């Protein structure tokens, strides 16, 4: 119901223009901006899909995840899309961004049983009004999407303001999973992977609740060392 309300709202308030370059009379992402998105999932690495088949330099930070894929490299247009969605509240971007993640889901994780958006604490949800990770699941098979299988039990500072070790510390024990994940293959969904700390903590929580496999799919990824 909330989604249909949001869809209706964006239809009313969003003028027909590209959310990235503000070119008028184009869809939420115009073809020129679309062409600037750099895929990050077409490499040979079996774990992250970005680097080469062996000795992948981009698997740093993916410990604790059975697999990870990002649709695009964060730098440039993809980073702009992430920031416009989250901080400029251009929720009209949610669906087209999700549509661009769908081929990655179908190709890399066809056997994920449950698709779980990284949850937001209810206080932040109240402030922002939407969870971008949920919007990024909007084009996925809804019978596998579980918005309530994982929730945040502790309010944490904005991760972007913390350094690596501080991030991991601040997140410890911040999430809880429902018994529904036990025995399942669970795919976490988020907008961006930076250090991977949030996804690792979510994965640990889900694995402790009995999941047999935990992976992650994000719209973008800040590649280590780039």
Contact status: 108 vs Zn ion (CB under 5 A): no
Q: How far is the CB of 118 from Zn ion (least distance, A)?
A: 21
Q: How far is the CB of 224 from Zn ion (least distance, A)?
A: 10
Contact status: 41 vs Zn ion (CB under 5 A): no
Nearest alpha carbon to residue 74 among 188, 223, 215: 223
Residues in binding contact with Zn ion, number by CB under 5 A: 13
Instruction: Report the alpha-carbon distance of residue 78 to residue 117 in Å, rounded.
Output: 19
Q: How far is the CB of 58 from Zn ion (least distance, A)?
A: 5
Among 14-22, 149-157, 159-167, 179-187, the segment contacting Zn ion (CB under 5 A)? 14-22
Contact status: 33 vs Zn ion (CB under 5 A): yes
Contact status: 30 vs Zn ion (CB under 5 A): yes
Instruction: Report the alpha-carbon distance of residue 159 to residue 222 in Å, rounded.
Output: 14
**Could you tell me if 58 and 48 are in contact, meaning their C-beta atoms sit under 8 angstroms apart?**
yes
Q: How far is the CB of 14 from Zn ion (least distance, A)?
A: 14
Contact status: 59 vs Zn ion (CB under 5 A): yes
Q: Which is nearer to Zn ion, 38 or 125 (by Cβ)?
A: 38
In terms of Cβ atoms closer than 10 Å to its own Cβ (0-12, 13-18, 19+), residue 36 is middle
Contact status: 56 vs Zn ion (CB under 5 A): yes
Contact status: 48 vs Zn ion (CB under 5 A): yes
Q: Which is nearer to Zn ion, 54 or 160 (by Cβ)?
A: 54
Q: Find the DSSP H helices in the chain.
A: 2-13, 31-36, 77-86, 94-108, 122-128, 132-135, 164-171, 197-208
Q: Which is nearer to Zn ion, 21 or 162 (by Cβ)?
A: 21
Nearest alpha carbon to residue 101 among 33, 40, 11: 40
End-to-end CA distance of the chain: 41
- SS3 label, residue 72: strand
Instruction: Report the alpha-carbon distance of residue 97 to residue 137 in Å, rounded.
Output: 9
User: Kindly report the CA angle at 67 between 61 and 72, in degrees rounded to 5?
Assistant: 75
Q: How far is the CB of 38 from Zn ion (least distance, A)?
A: 15
Contact status: 21 vs Zn ion (CB under 5 A): yes
Q: Which is nearer to Zn ion, 14 or 21 (by Cβ)?
A: 21
Q: How far is the CB of 102 from Zn ion (least distance, A)?
A: 20
Q: Which is nearer to Zn ion, 93 or 186 (by Cβ)?
A: 93
Residues that bind Zn ion (CB under 5 A): 18, 20-21, 23, 30, 33, 45, 47-48, 51, 56, 58-59
């Amino acid at each position: 119901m909330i989604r249909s309300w949001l869809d209706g709202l964006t239809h009313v308030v969003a003028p027909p223009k590209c959310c990235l370059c503000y070119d008028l009379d184009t869809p939420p992402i115009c073809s020129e901006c679309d062409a600037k998105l750099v895929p990050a999932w077409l490499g040979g690495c079996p774990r992250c899909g970005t680097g080469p088949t062996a000795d992948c330099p981009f698997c740093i930070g993916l410990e604790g995840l059975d697999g990870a894929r990002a649709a695009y490299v964060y730098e440039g247009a993809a980073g702009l899309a992430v920031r416009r969605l989250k901080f400029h509240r251009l929720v009209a971007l949610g669906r087209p961004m999700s549509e661009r993640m769908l081929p990655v889901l179908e190709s890399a994780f066809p056997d994920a049983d449950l698709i779980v958006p990284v949850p937001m604490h209810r206080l932040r949800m109240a402030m922002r009004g939407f969870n971008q990770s949920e919007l990024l699941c909007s084009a996925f098979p809804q019978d596998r999407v579980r918005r309530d299988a994982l929730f945040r039990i502790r309010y944490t500072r904005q991760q972007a303001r913390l350094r690596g070790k501080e991030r991991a510390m601040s997140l410890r024990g911040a999430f809880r999973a429902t018994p529904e994940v036990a025995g399942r293959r669970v795919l976490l969904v988020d907008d961006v992977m930076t250090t991977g700390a949030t996804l690792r903590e979510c994965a640990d929580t889900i694995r402790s609740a009995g999941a047999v496999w935990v992976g992650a799919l994000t719209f973008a990824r800040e590649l280590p060392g780039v």
